[in-house]
Amino acid sequence: MDPDALAKAFVEHYYSTFDTNRNGLANLYQEGSMLTFEGQKIQGASNIVAKLTSLPFQQCHHSISTVDCQPSGVNAGMLVFVSGNLQLAGEQHTLKFSQMFHLIPTPQGSYYVLNDIFRLNYA
């Protein structure tokens, strides 16, 4: 699969899972995975999903504006850089966000997230 198409497919999968069932994201992280969420550093799939499921909103919707990808030079890994809007249920205005993922291939032919950094872009 073309890297840009693969990155877009991952992004669609990640955010649709986030928006419908955050617990389902556990499959995308491993014990060595790292999330920096608004500056807070979290390591390991269990801790990352605990963080994401403890966010102070039940429903949200990500709409993606841009997806950029480059090979990371690490074992056929891929860097994916996303920008978009996050709509929280009951809120009138969306929040702008940027996020980067470092995806590493798994022996099963899929990818997991080794590095994940998320920031809201405050207006």
Q: Footprint of a copy of itself on this chain (CB under 8 A)?
A: 32, 34, 36, 39, 41, 65-66, 68, 70-75, 77, 79, 81, 83, 96, 98, 100, 102, 104, 114-115, 117, 119, 121-123
- C-beta closer to a copy of itself: residue 56 or 73: 73
Q: Terminus-to-terminus CA distance in the chain, angstroms?
A: 37
Report how far apart, in Å, the C-alpha atoms of 52 and of each of 24, 39, 42, 99 are. 11, 14, 10, 14
Instruction: Burial-class residue 44 by CB neighbours within 10 Å (0-12, 13-18, 19+).
Output: middle
Residue closer to a copy of itself by CB (options 18, 118) is 118
Minimum Å distance from CB 60 to a copy of itself?
A: 19
Please identify, using beta-carbon distances, which residue of 89 and 123 lies nearer to a copy of itself: 123
